[in-house]
Amino acid sequence: MGARDEFLLDSYSATVTQVAHTASAAVAHIKVRKPAQRGNAGGQGSGSGFLFTPDGFSLTNAHVVEGASELRAAFADGTESAARLVGMDASTDIAVLRIESNPGAFLPLGSSAALLPGQIAVAVGNPLGFDFTVTAGIVSALGRSLPSRGGRMIEDVIQTDVALNPGNSGGPLLDSAAQVIGVNTAVIPSAQGLSFAVAIDTARWVAGELMRHGTVRRGKLGVQCAAVALPRRWVRENEWPVATGLRVVEVVAGSAAARDGLRSGDILVGCDGTPLAQLSDLLKRLAGEGYGQPLLLKLLRPVAGTLMPFYLTVAPGG
């Protein structure tokens, strides 16, 4: 190994070490007690979570805390505290907890919009009960879809090769600046090197809804979308501020989208005058202040081998 290789290895090691050191105080081991039910003696479970505000709000996975009768959070400094479920959203596998007594450390939420495949990704969590374990790898792909326990597809999921195991669920996926870029949610046991995290832009929006309303209020559009690159010429000629849009992969029969004329292959580029660069942009329009309101969609539709601009008003279902 040459001097340059040793330098690069040392640089990589230093980055991962610094991220782990920065994150460790804010990462929690979430201990879950579930009540006994008919034919089930109840029991205990565990997962990971992390503080993202200085006053004790924590992100984790919905499947970690679902059905819990008691929640506790343990930290690397040895402290342990009761935790309260603020709200959970099975459709994105995101939950927010309020931890009564916490170390005060918290992790800044970054942005998943500017991620690129190949970037360093670091996970801190509690796999198989081994507290505060650090694993690292790279962002392998972006814009994946993953079925949630709620039956919906989680969109804009980050794929990594970071080693994750049961117990890592709900822990942070961090970039080289120790900013959270995702919430670790799933692995495929039969495939090595395939791990997934809910993009932090989606998790941030969901967390805001849960903290305000205790639930995520959604209008139902009835489409499955995937982020795609927009034609460069169209972006340039229209001075469009973003380079991606949302391709409609599937339109659910009988849905609001089907009723109002959306088609598979349409590329959604704007909504009510706001660009749609990623799925979380559309989700925000379907919830919050836009909940229950008609949407004016700007889209590009394939017609005779070219993409034609269209405007379409869609009234989402409740």
- The token pair that represents 30 in the structure block: 């979430």
Q: Which is the catalytic residue, given 46, 48, 58, 63?
A: 63
CA angle 161, 166, 168 (to 5 degrees): 65
Does 21 participate in catalysis according to the annotation? Answer: no
C-alpha span between 122 and 271 (Å, rounded): 34
Q: Which is the catalytic residue, given 93, 175, 201, 266?
A: 93
Q: How far apart are the two ends of the chain, measured CA to CA in Å?
A: 61
Does 175 participate in catalysis according to the annotation? Answer: no
> Please, what sign has the CA dihedral across residues 151, 154, 160, 166?
negative
Does 63 participate in catalysis according to the annotation? Answer: yes
Q: Which is the catalytic residue, given 46, 169, 255, 280?
A: 169
State the amino acid at position 193 in one-letter form.
G
Would you say 133 and 157 are in contact if contact means Cβ atoms under 8 Å apart? no
C-alpha span between 18 and 12 (Å, rounded): 10
Give me Rg for the CA atoms of the chain. Answer: 21
Show which residues are catalytic.
63, 93, 169
